Amino acid sequence: MLNDVAVTPAALEQFFQKDPERYRVPEQRRIRYVVVDQDRTRADVNITDEDLKQYYAQQLADFRFLSE
C-alpha cells in the first residue's frame, strides 16, 4: 500500500514548507562532569619548596608580566 504512493522532491518540499516549525530540532548540548576529590588529590601530590622555586624561576617572565 505504501509502495503505491509516489513522493517527489517537490511534493516533499511543499509539505515541509506548510509547517517548518514542526520539524525544527531544538538546540542540544552535551556536557561531561569531572568530580575531583580534593583531599585525595592533595594527599597524592607532593611538592617541595625546591620544586616551587624551580618552577618560579622557569616562569619568572610570566610573573613579571602579570605584576606590571
Instruction: Check: CB of residue 44 under 8 Å from CB of residue 51.
Output: no
pLDDT value at residue 9: 93
pLDDT value at residue 3: 75
pLDDT value at residue 17: 93
Instruction: Check: CB of residue 8 under 8 Å from CB of residue 16.
Output: no
pLDDT value at residue 1: 65
pLDDT value at residue 60: 84
State whether residue 45 is helix, strand or coil.
coil
Tens digits of pLDDT across the chain (68 residues): 667 778 899 988 999 899 988 888 889 999 999 999 999 888 888 899 999 999 988 888 877 765 55
